[in-house]
């Protein structure tokens, strides 16, 4: 499916009135953040704002305390309850701006209060691996989304993107391939059943 068609679909959702929530899910490296950014740019800041799930990564110090730093990105390395609480708040905007966290890949840490969402913005696009995961606190996410898409690109392309991303952010190629084969692909298998709970399955090259 072409990005222009997806943009039209997102724009139609934004035009339904009130605040609408679009979720973009999929395995690591599927292109979720890229697609969300393209949609928001095409629709404009008065129409759409991206609020990524990755802003709810637990801080590295907390992952070390919990003994989970070696599998950062797994479902239990996020504040899922905090994420769902923000989604509920965003669904029913009040008079003021809501501030959402972002994730800074240059330091591999979440940054609070980074993304302003004004009360008049009709569409919030949220993206992340676990939006359609049905276990624990994550199961509360899907009912908060007006529409959910699942990205399912070619696996070889997706894995190549992941390796390149890890290399760009400091891992040597061997470390990057090992991390992808272990942590990232375990997460990909976990979220794969979520495609059955999506309104739309998207195969983008």
Q: What is the CATH number of the domain that holds 59?
A: 3.40.50.300
Measuring CA to CA, which residue among 31, 5, 16 is closest to residue 146?
16
- What pLDDT, in 10s, does the model give residues 115-171? 999 999 999 999 999 999 999 999 999 999 999 999 988 777 777 787 777 777 677
Query: Domain range for residue 152?
Result: 3-202
Q: What is the pTM of this model?
A: 0.91
Question: How far is CA 41 from its chain centroid?
Answer: 16
Question: What pLDDT, on the 0 to 100 scale, is given for residue 1?
Answer: 63
**For the purposes of burial, counting CB atoms within 10 Å of the CB of 53, is it exposed (0-12), middle (13-18) or buried (19 or more)?**
buried
Domains contained in the chain, number = 1
Average pLDDT over residues 189-196: 91
Chain segment 14-51, per-residue pLDDT in tens: 999 999 999 999 998 888 999 999 999 999 999 999 99
Backbone φ and ψ for 26, nearest 5 degrees, come out as 150, 175
Strand 98-104 and strand 109-117: pairing?
Answer: antiparallel
């Amino acid at each position: 499916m072409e990005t222009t068609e997806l943009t039209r679909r997102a724009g139609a959702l934004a035009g339904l009135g009130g605040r609408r929530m679009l979720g973009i899910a999929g395995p690591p490296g599927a292109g979720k953040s890229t697609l969300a950014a393209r949609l928001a740019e095409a629709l404009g800041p008065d129409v759409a704002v991206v609020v990524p799930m990755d802003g709810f990564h637990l801080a590295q110090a907390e992952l070390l305390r919990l003994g989970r730093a070696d599998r950062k990105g797994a479902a239990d390395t996020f504040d899922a309850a905090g994420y769902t609480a923000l989604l509920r708040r965003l669904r029913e905007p009040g008079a003021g701006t809501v501030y959402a966290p972002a994730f800074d890949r240059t330091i591999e840490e979440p940054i609070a209060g980074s993304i302003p969402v004004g009360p008049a913005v009709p569409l919030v696009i949220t993206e992340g691996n676990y939006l359609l995961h049905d276990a624990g606190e994550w199961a509360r996410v899907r009912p908060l989304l007006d529409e959910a898409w699942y990205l399912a690109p070619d696996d070889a392309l997706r894995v190549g993107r992941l390796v390149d991303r890890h290399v760009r952010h400091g891992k040597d190629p061997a470390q990057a391939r090992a991390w992808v084969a272990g942590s990232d692909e375990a997460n990909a298998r976990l979220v794969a059943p979520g495609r059955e709970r999506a309104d739309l399955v998207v195969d983008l090259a």
